[in-house]
Structure 1
Amino acid sequence: MKKGFSLPIWVAGAARSALKKLIGFSFDNFELIKIPNETKEIKIEIHSVGLIKGDSHSLGITFAKSGLDLDITQNLEIWTIASLEKISLNNPNKTNQINIIAGSGVGIKENTSEICISDFAKEVLCANLLDIIPEGFKLNLEIIFPNGEFLAERTSNKSFGIVDGLSIIGTSAETYSSASPGQLEKAKTKLAKLIKNDSQGKVVFVIGQNGLNLAKTCNFKFPIIKVGNWIGPLIVDAAIKNVKTVILFGYHGKLIKLAGGIFHTHNHLADGRIEILVYLAVQEKLPPEIIVKLSHLNTLEDALLFLERFNKSIADKLFQNLSNTIEKRSFAYVNRYVTTDMEIAAIIFDRKREIRWAGINGKDYISYFQCD
């Protein structure tokens, strides 16, 4: 399985290099990054570092090397600007010594304007910066991705309320391609462990980190697994393992691919989301002029908003048909490889992270998805 290092590791490297320069250390072209709760350190390359703004700030620059050819952060340019601010010596909480600021190209939460950064990323920064922040000072750390806003347009960030740039949401030090066969084997192993102690025989599959984050806010009664892009083969594996029910929980822009018979959902293999929606619109006998306009839209969310402006009840009916079709096509896909009566249920949320639709089977489980 091809692997590299996640975005938080590279951000921490640039930040540590910048802080060291600010307090008088000489420049090294690498940093050894500590991993929380692990003994190993990761050596990463630093491109450059220098003092700016009359030597009151320091800029560290590196380029992320995730090791994944199709990863949007591969070779991403990262800037970190460090400055120090005096604080009370009686400050009891050392984690307050780091003020993380979302600079240009870094994603923020649309509703709160807070930086979109994972707990793991915060932990990595603390583990690698707290030990060198001078006593009596706090660190103001501005993170900048010069090309982040442009690259974010190629992601689903806006669909999850993240705007202005890329998130810093890595959850581990190492990265693995969700399109690689090794990732499928990893998911199969996790599935086996999850169902071993589950007497109900039901499991929730979510696609992607954003879906998993939403799932964790819900009062699920069943085991949850992030399935990556190998969703079709993993559903088959669930049937082989005699799982009784697979609940597919996801964003409409991903799960719609299953309605079109696309069971490896990585964009570099197949997209077809608008084309699938147009096909469903033809089935629902929408007016030809509406179908033509749908075909010219770029995203599924744009299509949903357009349909809701046209006729909200028709939009809901179309996406209800989408949910039913996901269940039917998924069941047919599994039975191409193994004869099974395993139930497949689909539950779909929109860009506002609101659970909106469920298939015929999914309606039996939607009451479990009561999110905070």
Structure 2
Amino acid sequence: MTSAPTPRAGYTLPVFACAGAMAALRYLLNPGDRPQTIPLDLLNPPQPAAIPIAQLAPLPDGSVLAITHSDPGDNLDLTRRTPLWSVVAWGNEAQPEVIQLEGGEGIGKQLERGGAPAIYSYAKVLIAHHLTPLIPSGKTLRVTIILPEGRALAERTSNAAFGVVDGLSLLGTAGISQPLSAPGQLEQSREILRAKAAEHTHLVFCLGENGLDLATQIGIDPERRVKTANWLGPMLVEAGQVGVAGVLLLGYHGKLIKLAGGIFHTHHHVADGRQEILAACCAAAAVPLPTIQAILQAATVEAGLGLLRAQDEHLAQRVYQHMVERIDERAAAYVYAHTGYSLAVGTMVFDRLRQVVARSDRAQALFEQVLVD
């Protein structure tokens, strides 16, 4: 039997933004310099990368535009082949920073920071590291990153739930985009699960970085954490098959809510229905019909949670308590149906501020089992 090929890693959006800025700066310094590829040190991890430059041109205002295209590797990533525009121009004398990094069209705005562009520390550090040594003494630089398709793509993400609107984020703490959602990654995740199951009878499943970070903050043993990405169904089945006694699900409510509706692959390419599931949980908790109708029309489940909290905090808690208990039931039934084994599953969900919204009774019991000794 031929094993599945190892999924190919790619690069995060900041890497392409930096490569474009580097190419544009080189042309600004030496008109006619048109690099086809830009070599970068990713810094995290400290390894080289070669990023193709698709197009490069001076603009009438004296700035230079370079275009790259996102390559996230073998991921089910909506930014695949998305163009990134890096526009570089000399700064003015009043500019306080050597490099003024700005977000143009398609770069999201952070509501909690007064509309500041959603350009995070890794992107800033990477761009500063590569561009600063090339800037002549006494000069400053203005770098504007544009995602022409960013606003439209953002409508297919949960960005708004985390306070980022009108575009995508230059997010990422590292340069490598690990293929967590690629089909070939599932077997690697299973191998990690099997190794941890050999050491621990109780584990914590986290979909992504938010869950992993919160787990350590609330005292969970880091060695018990398993990053599942969107493969919750197969990973739960694997846990049942290898004899894990209990799994604590820890994740953003806008993802884990899908399990309450029987959806065990949580990527948006596969299935959605989150508002509908939240509305069903509201009906089960005897929420008034006008509120249920408003939740069905809400843009996100985060907005739906806000509606519930605005009406009655105790009502919101009742709905979410029903939700996490429902997830426990459906997850345990899913594992039993596929394996014939019983697996204790408990659920904890958090909101966009990483505050725990609800935990099931079983989650509380499992939580005690996975704390740092």
Q: Same fold judged by TM-score > 0.5?
A: yes
Whether the aligned pair in 2 keeps the contact of 1:202 and 1:222 (CA below 8 Å) is no
**Alignment partner of 1:29 out of 18, 23, 36:** 36
Alpha carbons 2:53, 2:66 under 8 Å: kept: no
Q: Which amino acid aligns with 2:281?
A: L
Cα 1:47–1:325 change in 2 (3 A) is same
Q: 1:349 is matched with which residue? A: 350
Aligned to 1:82: 88
Quick one: which amino acid aligns to residue 221 of structure 1?
D
Q: Who is 1:91 aligned against? A: none
Q: Does the aligned pair in 1 maintain the 2:12–2:175 contact within 8 Å?
A: yes
* AA partner of residue 34 (structure 1): D
Q: Return the offset for 1:84.
A: 4.4
Matched residues in 2 for 1:11 and 1:215: separation?
A: 31
Does structure 1 retain, via aligned residues, the 8 Å contact 2:21–2:87? yes
After superposition, residues 258-269 of structure 1 pair within 5 angstroms as 258-269=259-270
In 2 relative to 1, CA 355–303 (structure 1 residues): closer, same or farther, beyond 3 Å? same
Q: Map of 1:225-240 to 2, 5 A cutoff? A: 225-240=226-241
Question: Aligned-pair distance for 1:247?
Answer: 1.6
Contact 2:154–2:168 (8 Å) recurs in 1: yes
**Could you tell me which residue of structure 1 aligns to residue 155 of structure 2?**
153
The aligned amino acid for 1:208 is: G
SS at match of 1:66: coil
User: CA shift at 1:259, angstroms?
Assistant: 0.9
Q: Any conservation in 2 of the 1:149–1:164 contact (CA below 8 Å)? A: yes
Determine whether 1:49 maps to 2:57.
Answer: yes
What whole-Å deviation, never above 9, does each CA across 1:100-140 have from its counterpart, x for those lacking one? 33333223433234544455444543453344233454544
Answer yes or no: is the 8 Å Cα contact 1:4–1:67 preserved in 2: yes
Shift of 1:369: 11
1:85-124 → structure 2 map (5 Å cutoff)? 98-113=99-114, 114-124=116-126
Match of 2:79 among 60, 67, 73: 73
Stretches of structure 2 lacking an aligned partner (at least 5 in a row): 1-6
C-alpha distance in 2, partners of 1:238/1:367? 19
Measured after TM superposition, the shift of residue 48 of structure 1 is 1.9
CA root-mean-square deviation:
3.2
Amino acid at match of 2:131: L
Residue by residue over 1:320-364, the C-alpha shift from the partner in whole angstroms, topping out at 9 and shown as x without a partner, is: 100111111111111223344433221111233321111112234
* CA positional deviation for 1:34: 3.0
CA deviation vs aligned residue, 1:131-164 (integer Å, no higher than 9, x gap): 4233454544222223323322221112122234
Q: Which runs of 5+ in 1 are unaligned?
A: 88-95
Select the residue among 8, 11, 24 that pairs with 1:5. 11
SS state of the match for residue 269, structure 1? Answer: coil
Which of these residues, 119, 133, 136, is aligned with residue 135 of structure 2? 133
Counterparts of 1:245 and 1:139 in 2: how far apart (Å)? 54
- Paired amino acid for 1:12: C
Aligned position for 1:204: 204
Contact 2:202–2:370, Cα closer than 8 Å, also in 1: no
- Indicate the residue corresponding to 1:315 in structure 2: 316
Aligned length: 358
What is the rounded CA distance, in whole Å, between the counterparts of 2:262 and 2:356 in structure 1? 23
TM-score by length of 1: 0.82
2:221 paired residue number: 221
Q: Does the 8 Å contact 2:248/2:363 carry over to 1?
A: yes
Q: How does 1:162-201 map to 2 (within 5 A)?
A: 162-195=164-197, 198-199=199-200, 201=201
The letter for the 2-side match of 1:228 is: A
The question of whether the paired residues in 1 share the 8 Å contact of 2:122 and 2:173 is answered with yes
Alignment partners' CA distance in 2, 1:128 and 1:194: 39
Measure how far apart 1:230 and its partner are.
Answer: 0.5
State the shift of 1:300 in Å.
Answer: 1.6
Give the residue type in structure 1 aligned to 2:312: N
**Percent identity over the alignment?**
32
Which position in structure 2 is the counterpart of 1:250? 251
